[in-house]
Each structure stands twice: as structure tokens, then as C-alpha cells.
Amino acid sequence: MLSDREEKTAGLGKFRLESLSDGIFAFAMTLLVLDLKIPIGHEGDLPQTLFGLWPKFLIYLVSFLVLSVFWVAHHGYSHFVKKTDRWYLWMNLLFLMVVVLVPFTTDLMGDYPHNPLAVMIYGININAISLTLYFQWAYATDKHRLVGGELEADVIAKGKRRILIGFVFYLCAILLALYNPALSLILYTIIPICYVFPSQIDSHWTHFHD
């Protein structure tokens, strides 16, 4: 018979899932920089050539920031998860499947920054990441399925709200692209910056151990 503690932690551990996730995030973040290429044979006008890269460079920064926001979020939510099951693994894999698309949609927007369709696809990619993260958290916390019983309902709700707010703001930015892609790009940059700042949920981190 298993003891109380064992029953809580038995099942497939979350370690390898986090390891796969960290690998995929590391790879996707590094791939972004591959799009920054200097054409050879511009010795004379190197300053201008480099200066001409600034939109690509900005988009690199934004995508790195966005992926970082989701990595921090995934880290923060996963922190409360005590075990995993097959559905949870698959929700994570769905999440990673859309994370992996970011270098592709980043390239697309980098090549066509004035095209509403390209800008909208980027935003849809980001919101797909948000949604798959939301479902993970909702599934793991529903009836405390995969989290400790001591996790307050309040923390669970805050975690959901935090994702949904970003989702709604990005949705607005996506629709805005139909009228003004440049404005969408500015919103795409501002929204993740807001997520850098500490939130109420952080205070709960200190009560649980990894």
C-alpha cells in the first residue's frame, strides 16, 4: 500500500516533460536568430545593410520575448503540478506543437510586415499557444486532478485569468491588423512586455517546492 505522500506523487513524473519542453523552447528561441542574415559583398555600405535589418531584428526581439513569456508561464504553472497523465502529456505536446511554429510565423511576418494576413497568422499562432496553455492548467487543476490538494481555488482562478487577459488583448491586435498591420505589430510588442512584470501569482510560488 502506498503512503499519502506516495499517492500524491506516483504516476509519470513531470521531469521529462519539462526536459522536452525546455529543449524545444531552447531550440525555437535559437532558431529565430537564423533569420538574421547579412548578405555577403556589402563591405562598402555595411552600416546601411545592417541598418536595413532593423525590422527583422525587432521581430526577433519580440518573438524571443513572447517565447520567454510562455516559458516563464509554463515553468510557473508546471511548478504546481505534482504528476502527469496521458491527457496532460498530450496537452503539453499540443502546446509544444504550436510553440515550434513560432520561427515559421516569425519569418512570415518578418518577410511581409505590411501584409494583414501575415500579421494575423502570427497573432493566431500566439493565441494558439495561450489556449493550449489554458487547457493544460484547467485540466490539471480541475478537482485538483494533478496538483496538490492544498492549492487554493484563488490561485487556480488567477492563473486562468492571467492567460485569458493576454488572449483577449492579442485577439484585438489580430482584428486590428485588417485595418492597420503596423499598429498590430506595436500591440504585439507591448502586450508581452506587460507580462514581464511580477504578478499576484508569484507570491504563491514561495509556498511550494519544485
Site for a second copy in 24-43 (CB under 8 A): 24-34, 36-38, 40, 43
Question: Measured in whole angstroms, how far is the alpha carbon of residue 145 from the centre of its chain?
Answer: 23
According to CB under 8 A, which residues from 187 to 206 bind a second copy? 196-199, 202, 205-206
By CB under 8 A, how many residues form the interface with a second copy?
A: 74
Considering the rule CB under 8 A, would residue 142 count as an interface residue with a second copy? no
Which one of residues 58, 87, 158, 187 is an interface residue with a second copy (CB under 8 A)? 87
Q: Are the beta carbons of 118 and 112 closer than 8 angstroms?
A: yes
Which one of residues 59, 62, 81, 108 is an interface residue with a second copy (CB under 8 A)? 108
According to CB under 8 A, which residues from 113 to 132 bind a second copy? 115, 117-118, 121
Question: 126 is written with which cell numbers?
Answer: 500566439
Q: Are the beta carbons of 187 and 179 closer than 8 angstroms?
A: no
| Burial 135-144, CB ≥16 within 10 A → b, else e | bbbeebbeee
Q: What is the DSSP string of 64-101?
A: HHHHHHHHHHHHHHHTTB--B-HHHHHHHHHHHHHHTT
Considering the rule CB under 8 A, would residue 76 count as an interface residue with a second copy? yes
Shorter beta-carbon distance to a second copy: residue 171 or 201: 201
Does an H or E element contain 125, and which? helix 116-141
Shorter beta-carbon distance to a second copy: residue 47 or 179: 47
Burial of 124 per CB tally in 10 Å (0-12, 13-18, 19+): middle
According to CB under 8 A, which residues from 167 to 186 bind a second copy? none
Considering the rule CB under 8 A, would residue 61 count as an interface residue with a second copy? yes
Considering the rule CB under 8 A, would residue 208 count as an interface residue with a second copy? yes
Cβ 60 to a second copy, closest distance in Å? 9
Considering the rule CB under 8 A, would residue 139 count as an interface residue with a second copy? no
Considering the rule CB under 8 A, would residue 52 count as an interface residue with a second copy? no
